[in-house]
Amino acid sequence: MLVVVSDTHAREESRLQGRTAEAVREAELVIHAGDFYREPVLDAFGSAAASLRAVYGNNDDAAIRDRVPEVRTVEYAGVRFAVTHRHRSGDAGLVMLGRGRDGDAVICGHSHRPRFDDSGGLPILNPGSHAQPRGNRPAHAELTPDEGGAENALDGKLVTPSGEVFETFRIEGGARE
């Protein structure tokens, strides 16, 4: 399982609770889309996750920026993700970033609003914030390889820390040229 989180905004700990904490511990890979806030939070995620891939966000301190990139490409189960915290040009810029990185989808954070949008030419996944939702539903994303055996396909869901699934989606990979 791949778990995606973002926008922790903490000083000392991961602020993981409930299903979000379980999912991070169970995941083969965790992607954090930025705004840990302080370096001990990055370390806490590194300790909790079997494997962590992260980018820094606009509120991350210099120590975090020294350790993780602003943008990275991550592949999981044949699906390639362009990962960044935000893009000043909005969704159009995110799609361009994803295409420029030969991605099948883009993962971002920043807005604290969980969403999946595949209407703009390349799917965009924002897991929201598990710790500081700012008026939105607290959330993370869980993605698993297709149970039917289809290659390069992930079934995803947006999940609250209490375990409520409030949106499901699918990302197809391998369509790169």
Sequence ranges of the domains in the chain = 2-172
Answer whether residue 48 shows pLDDT above 60.
yes
Is 0.75 surpassed by the pTM of this model? yes
Percent of the chain at pLDDT above 70? 98
Mean pLDDT of 139-157: 92
Residue 175 binned pLDDT confidence (cut-offs 50, 70, 90): low
CA distances from 114 to 133, 157, 172 (A): 9, 10, 20
pLDDT averaged over the chain? 95
pLDDT of the residue at 8: 97
Residue 176 has pLDDT above 70, yes or no: no
What is the DSSP track for 35-63? --BSHHHHHHHHHH-SSEEE---TT--HH
Counting other chains too, the contacts that 44-50 makes at CB distance below 8 Å and 24 or more residues apart are 44/12, 44/13, 44/14, 45/5, 45/8, 45/14, 48/14, 48/16, 48/21, 48/24, 49/3, 49/24, 49/25
2-172 has which CATH code?
A: 3.60.21.10
